[in-house]
Amino acid sequence: MAARYDRAITVFSPDGHLFQVEYAQEAVKKGSTAVGIRGKDIVVLGVEKKSVAKLQEERTVRKICALDDHVCMAFAGLTADARIVINRARVECQSHRLTVEDPVTVEYITRHIATLKQRYTQSNGRRPFGISALIVGFDSDGTPRLYQTDPSGTYHAWKANAIGRSAKTVREFLEKNYTEESIATDNEAIKLAIKALLEVVQSGGKNIELAVIRRNQSLKLLESKEIETLVTEIEKEKEEEAEKKKQKKST
Amino acid sequence: MKCYRLFIPYSRWRDAHPIVHSQKYHRRRRVCRLISKTLSKMALSSVLQSESADFSFNNDRSFSFGCRFGQTDLGFGAAPGDRLNFAIKASLGPDDKDGPERKIEFLHGTTTLAFKFQHGVIVAVDSRATAGAYIASQTVKKVIEINPYLLGTMAGGAADCSFWERLLARQCRVYELRNKERISVAAASKLLANMVYQYKGMGLSMGTMVCGWDKRGPGLYYVDSEGNRVCGDLFAVGSGSMYAYGVVDSGLRQDLSVEEACELGRRAIYQATYRDAYSGGQVNLYHVHSEGWTRVSQEDVLKLHHQYQEPKK
């Protein structure tokens, strides 16, 4: 008779897997890399920018989006799905401001996004969202936060994380290099993010997009010139390190 | 009706069930019109106006379908003590419109008062409930303890106030559990205001002050069933509010001590009960501070009268 929704797309397999959710996670692994780092007074998001076609306007291809003045997110996976999630999150940030007369905490908006994603793994006729998100920001009491969500609807807090293509390599790099001194100053935290991305991005600084939020300030996208300067700094430091090692070996 | 069981506004149910609504609605109207005609023929209006109990009459008619929109509140001959309204009931006249259409006019026969000062919020209320010229009760609790750090006062319909504030308590608790921190007074009053706004125009009568202490300091909001929600430093609600305002306005300073502020609140309510016929009983006093609220005192107005008038002699 009338078109009713079929049985759910996301059903359990005999050995307890939700295959649709796992396939969605595979889709995420095909997306371009994004990395997030939580410093002391700054939170940094970096994404690998896919090379833009000649005739394409560069500024319409944005993978880092502000959800509110004090929260922003980067994603890896299906861009169209991400657009929907970001829209809903932006509306929720404002609704929260209206009903509670306070800005959202990063945990609250992450929980909202994760609940939204979970709902799509448990209703009929719909497929899960194919994105993982890194949500960063400052709470009203000044604490920096970084959360990651995935297509299954779970979320966790992280000190530093990476999603997308070669996320594993980047995460291993971060595990080795994320120390108290590496995030001591804002600049150091930004450089750490760039270093992490350079591990997996070909052709250097041109393909990196970086954004930072400082306490009590809104999202700031770094210009390509600034990124270039930082990249050259990093390369210089690398050379110096290599020189020192050579000298040690020779002596 | 089904919409009441589902706790949704009639208008939303009606829009969702157009055909059913139309049949049921018109049948209901026909029946109610019939009943009002019969009742007014039996001179019910005089019975209601005199507010005398007439249980036998009530038992004869069995209102199985519960045409409830305006008529239950008017309490067909129920003993006035049962119905704790701070209100004078609107009288049924033979030329009134049908039951479901009738608007209930409540008068807020009470005095409730709340003001902020440097050490928190003082909440003072009287405890009299009237049904016309009859004093139904002298010992009504007009302060509702929403949770250990939020208080709500009652003015208007007792059932409306206590029901919605208990619902608010439930919402506040869920917020606390979900977000792992206490709800702010602004958010709590906003939740209450939004809840009753959905029923605007349907006859709710509630004028309450939400008082508490949160991370922004002392909080005081006035919320009513018309949809008003106002933040302020001082509110008095009810028929005796003018008398209370006079006393508090002349005595309020930001640097009052706790005892001075309590005494000011007590005096304000006492003066209101002295002049307003619909306020009296006892003065219930609460103090909201950073740790939560404390019940300061409950004193009979007559005792206060002797206390205040003694020095004059």
Residue A201 pLDDT exceeds 60? yes
User: Is residue B249 within 8 Å of B119, Cβ to Cβ?
Assistant: no
User: Please, is A173 exposed, middle or buried when counting C-beta atoms within 10 Å of its C-beta (0-12, 13-18, 19+)?
Assistant: buried
Helices (H) and strands (E) in chain A, counts: 6, 10
Residue B45 pLDDT exceeds 80? no
Nearest to B121, CA basis, from B185, B194, B193: B185
Cβ contact B190–A102 (<8 Å) = no
Token couple for A88: 């809903």
For residue B193, the distance in angstroms to the closest alpha carbon of chain A comes to: 10
Q: What is the CATH number of the domain that holds B201?
A: 3.60.20.10
Q: How many Å apart are CA A205 and CA B245, to the nearest integer? A: 69
The mean pLDDT of B300-312, rounded to a whole number, is 90
Q: How many Å apart are CA B265 and CA B286, to the nearest integer? A: 10
**Which of the four pLDDT bands, split at 50, 70 and 90, describes residue A55?**
confident
Residue B74 pLDDT exceeds 70? no
- In sequence order, the 6+-apart residues with CB closer than 8 A to the CB of A194 are A46, A205, A208, A210, A227, A230, A231, A234
User: Please, is B107 exposed, middle or buried when counting C-beta atoms within 10 Å of its C-beta (0-12, 13-18, 19+)?
Assistant: middle
Q: Is residue B91 part of a domain?
A: no
Which of B179, B191, B197 is most worth mutating to test chain A (most A CB atoms within 10 A of its CB)?
B179
**Which of the four pLDDT bands, split at 50, 70 and 90, describes residue A191?**
very high
Q: Quick one: B14 and B121 in the same domain?
A: no
**Which of the four pLDDT bands, split at 50, 70 and 90, describes residue A52?**
confident
**Contact residues on chain A for B183, CB-CB shorter than 8 A:** 100
Q: Quick one: B24 and B127 in the same domain?
A: no
ipTM for the whole complex: 0.84
What is the reported pLDDT for B137?
Answer: 87
Length of chain B in terms of residues written: 313
Q: Is residue B185 part of a domain?
A: yes
| Beta pairing class for B120-125 and A208-214 | unpaired
Higher per-residue confidence, A63 vs B312: A63
Q: Is residue B192 part of a domain?
A: yes
Q: Which residue in chain B is spatially nearest to A141 when comparing CA positions?
A: B215
- 3-state DSSP assignment of residue A91: helix
Q: Is residue B268 part of a domain?
A: yes
**Contact residues on chain A for B187, CB-CB shorter than 8 A:** 99-102
The mean pLDDT of A50-68, rounded to a whole number, is 81
**What Rg do the C-alpha atoms of chain A give, in angstroms?**
20
Cβ contact A99–B179 (<8 Å) = no
Q: How many Å apart are CA B58 and CA B77, to the nearest integer? A: 7
Residue A189 pLDDT exceeds 90? yes
Count of structural domains within chain B: 2
User: Is residue B196 within 8 Å of B3, Cβ to Cβ?
Assistant: no
The mean pLDDT of A217-232, rounded to a whole number, is 89
Q: Quick one: B14 and B137 in the same domain?
A: no
Active site residues of B: 110
Highest mean pLDDT among A106-110, A220-224, B71-75: A106-110
Q: Quick one: B179 and B288 in the same domain?
A: yes
Handedness of CA B258, B261, B265, B270 (dihedral sign): positive
When CB atoms are compared, the residue of A100, A105, A108 closest to B187 is: A100
Q: Residues of chain B with pLDDT > 90: what percent?
A: 53
Q: Quick one: B28 and B157 in the same domain?
A: no
What is the reported pLDDT for A123?
Answer: 84
Which of B174, B177, B190 is most worth mutating to test chain A (most A CB atoms within 10 A of its CB)?
B190
Write out the residue range of the structural domain in which residue B19 sits.
8-34
Q: Is residue B246 part of a domain?
A: yes
Q: Quick one: B253 and B162 in the same domain?
A: yes
When CB atoms are compared, the residue of A99, A101, A108 closest to B179 is: A108
User: Is residue B49 within 8 Å of B91, Cβ to Cβ?
Assistant: yes
Q: Quick one: B273 and B146 in the same domain?
A: yes
| Phi and psi, residue B99, nearest 5° | -50, -55
- In sequence order, the 6+-apart residues with CB closer than 8 A to the CB of B248 are B113, B115, B234, B236, B264, B265, B268
Q: Quick one: B129 and B258 in the same domain?
A: yes
What is the reported pLDDT for A61?
Answer: 64
Token couple for A141: 């009491």
Q: Is residue B73 part of a domain?
A: no
**Contact residues on chain A for B231, CB-CB shorter than 8 A:** none
Which helix (H) or strand (E) segment holds residue B286: the answer is strand B282-289
The mean pLDDT of B8-15, rounded to a whole number, is 72
Q: Is residue B58 part of a domain?
A: no
Residue with tokens 């394409």: A56
Q: Is residue B68 part of a domain?
A: no
Residue B247 pLDDT exceeds 50? yes
Q: Quick one: B190 and B300 in the same domain?
A: yes
